[in-house]
Amino acid sequence: MTGPRYTPLIASLPDAVPFVGPEAIERTTGHRFAARLGANESLFGPSPVAIEAMAKAAADSWMYGDSQNHDLRHALASHHDVAAANIVIGGGIDGLLGSLVRLLVDPGDAVVTSKGAYPTFNFHVTGHGGVLHAAPYRDDHEDPRALIELARETRPKLIYIANPDNPMGTWHDAAKMQAMIDALPQDCLLILDEAYIEFAPHGTAPEFNTDDPRVIRMRTFSKAYGLAGARVGYAIGHSDLISSFNKVRNHFGMARASLAGALAALADQDWLEHVQTQVVTARDALADLARANQLSPISSATNFVTMDCGRDGGYAGRVVAQLAQRGVFVRMPFVAPQDRCIRVTTAPAQALKIFADALPDALKAAQTAS
């Protein structure tokens, strides 16, 4: 009796999960988290208008969603002043990254990223047999110059950078990102992941140039719009590249309710501004809380604050574990030297108080355990 005949590539890969979700941790420990501050979801929630639209659309769930995602694509095109042919919708940025890697990466192809950057992208690359080349962070920022230099050495199919960055929350201004675009080697596509762009200062994002086939920009409704569970992301790029997604994408992969919610959320810019204001207030509160506990907050252009614990990854890992024992879910970066930090999502005052109450004892316990 034999099992499935996996491809040699798949058979060679470890059984790995980029992130262990909070629900999985709760099932393992038998305890629910009192404060869920580790997944960078929006604890401020989606627009009430979006919730209403999704509830209404639920009655039509017997129908498949629009395979062309027409209404949302055209609304996004108007919002960003680009053509609808320059936009593709997918199941979050993660789903779009998977499709893009499938389109471009064969076994042995070089791909450039930063050491410790978003691990789900790496997961897709290795799943298709790509070879990752990673540049180190510089001063807790992804390093555009080092990425370009590495690309010139390795001639990659793809370069990945997030601006603002996850997991550190740091960012580069539009001029630096445009300089990176201008310096791209031939036959190389830059993935500019802008999942957190709605939280960033004005002047962070370069202007869209959909005539440039060397760049694809990725954005999401999971963060500022508060629809992480709906799984709606989109990419903006040259029409030829965007059209190529039709070769591999799941044409009926978007739920009707998710599309309705994203469309309503995009229309409710007042709610987006409300969330942005709340995030700034919470970022300031988290920074003050870090300093009060002798931690160093790193300036953030996202909906989280990364806190430097001042030691190594082992210590930061103990802090995360001690917080979990006290009902608080946070994460930490995975690669040294950034793994000296913990990363805490912004939240309303009640959730921040739970974190504030738990942090001193968690730090004390982590120090004792060392």
Check pLDDT > 70 for residue 199. yes
**Strands (E) located in the chain:** 35-36, 87-90, 110-114, 131-135, 158-162, 189-193, 215-220, 233-237, 296-298, 304-308, 328-329, 341-345
What's the pLDDT tens digit per position in 103-131? Answer: 999 999 999 999 999 999 999 999 999 99
- Average pLDDT of the chain is 96
Check pLDDT > 80 for residue 370. no
Give residue for tokens 């395979």. Answer: 67
What mean pLDDT comes out for the span 273-291? Answer: 98
Check pLDDT > 90 for residue 93. yes
Check pLDDT > 70 for residue 227. yes
Distance CA 314, CA 294 (A): 18
Check pLDDT > 90 for residue 3. no
Q: When comparing pLDDT for 19 and 361, which is higher?
A: 361
What's the pLDDT tens digit per position in 257-272? Answer: 999 999 999 999 999 9
Distance CA 25, CA 11 (A): 27
Q: How many residues does the chain have?
A: 370
pLDDT bucket at 19, cuts 50 / 70 / 90: confident
Q: When comparing pLDDT for 202 and 20, which is higher?
A: 202
Tell me whether strands 158-162 and 110-114 are parallel, antiparallel or unpaired: parallel
C-beta neighbour count of 200 within 10 angstroms: 21
Cβ proximity of 160 and 113 under 8 Å: yes
The order of strands in the sheet holding 87-90 is 87-90, 233-237, 215-220, 189-193, 158-162, 110-114, 131-135
What mean pLDDT comes out for the span 290-318? Answer: 98
Per-residue pLDDT at 190: 98
Q: Which CATH architecture has domain 48-268?
A: 3-Layer(aba) Sandwich (3.40)
Check pLDDT > 70 for residue 16. yes
Per-residue pLDDT at 212: 97
pTM higher than the cut 0.85? yes
What's the pLDDT tens digit per position in 228-255? Answer: 999 999 999 999 999 999 999 999 999 9
- Superfamily of domain 8-45+270-369 in CATH is Aspartate Aminotransferase, domain 1 (3.90.1150.10)
**What element of type H or E holds 292?**
helix 269-292
Amino acid at 316: A
Per-residue pLDDT at 261: 98
Check pLDDT > 70 for residue 1. no
Per-residue pLDDT at 369: 77
What mean pLDDT comes out for the span 197-210? Answer: 98
Provide the residue ranges of all domains of the chain, joining segments of one domain with +: 8-45+270-369, 48-268
pLDDT bucket at 17, cuts 50 / 70 / 90: confident
